[in-house]
C-alpha cells in the first residue's frame, strides 16, 4: 500500500454511481465501499469506521452530515488521526461529485485532508 496515494472509502449510503463513475474514469484508483470485503460491514458505528480509517489511511466519502463531524471531533480529542472525511453537499449531481473527487485525486496529497471534514463539491 502506498500511503502517499489517495484512497477512498464510501459509506454505505453513498450511491454506487459515484464509485462506478470514478472507477470508469480512473480504474487504477482504490475506491472501496463499506460492506465490501476487507472493510467494515454495513451498520458499523461511526467510531469504528474512524478507527478503520486511521489504521488503513482511507479518506471517507459520506453523506452523514449529522453525526460524523461530532464523532470525528471525539476521535481527535482522544489523540486519533485520520486521512479525512469528505461530506457530500445535498443537491449536487453525481457528475459534480465525481469531478470533485477527480480533482482531489490529482491536485492533492493525503495530508491535505488530514483530520478534517471537507464539504464537497467545493
Domain map (residue ranges) of the chain: 8-120
> Which helix H or strand E contains 31, and what residues bound it?
strand 31-33
Q: In terms of Cα–Cα distance, which of 83, 87, 77 is closest to 110?
A: 83
Q: Scanning the structure block, which residue is given the C-alpha cell 472509502?
A: 9
For the segment 14-36, the average pLDDT, to the nearest whole number, is 95
Q: Scanning the structure block, which residue is given the C-alpha cell 480504474?
A: 27
Residue 1: the pLDDT is 46
115 phi-psi bin (left φ>0, alpha ψ -120 to 50, beta other): left
CATH architecture entry for 8-120: 3-Layer(aba) Sandwich (3.40)
Looking at residue 113, the DSSP 8-state letter turns out to be: G
> Which band of pLDDT confidence, cut at 50, 70 and 90, is reported for residue 33?
very high
Top pLDDT among 62 and 3 is at: 62
Instruction: Classify 21 as helix, strand or coil.
Output: helix
pTM: 0.93
Q: Which residues contact 122 (CB under 8 A, 6 or more apart)?
A: 100
Residue 78: the pLDDT is 97
Q: Does the pLDDT of residue 17 top 90, yes or no?
A: yes
CB 60 within 8 A of CB 9: yes
> How high does pLDDT run on average in the chain?
94
- C-alpha 37, offset from chain centre: 17
Amino acid at each position: 500500500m502506498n500511503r502517499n496515494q489517495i484512497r477512498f472509502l464510501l459509506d454505505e449510503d453513498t450511491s454506487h454511481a459515484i464509485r462506478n463513475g470514478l472507477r470508469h474514469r480512473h480504474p487504477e484508483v482504490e475506491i472501496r465501499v463499506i460492506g465490501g470485503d476487507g472493510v467494515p460491514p454495513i451498520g458499523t458505528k461511526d467510531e469504528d469506521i474512524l478507527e478503520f480509517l486511521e489504521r488503513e489511511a482511507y479518506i471517507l466519502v459520506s453523506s452523514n452530515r449529522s453525526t460524523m463531524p461530532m464523532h470525528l471531533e471525539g476521535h481527535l480529542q482522544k489523540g486519533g488521526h485520520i486521512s479525512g472525511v469528505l461530506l457530500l453537499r445535498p443537491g449536487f449531481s453525481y457528475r459534480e461529485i465525481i469531478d470533485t473527487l477527480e480533482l482531489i485525486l490529482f491536485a492533492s496529497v493525503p495530508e491535505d485532508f488530514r483530520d478534517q471534514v471537507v464539504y464537497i463539491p467545493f
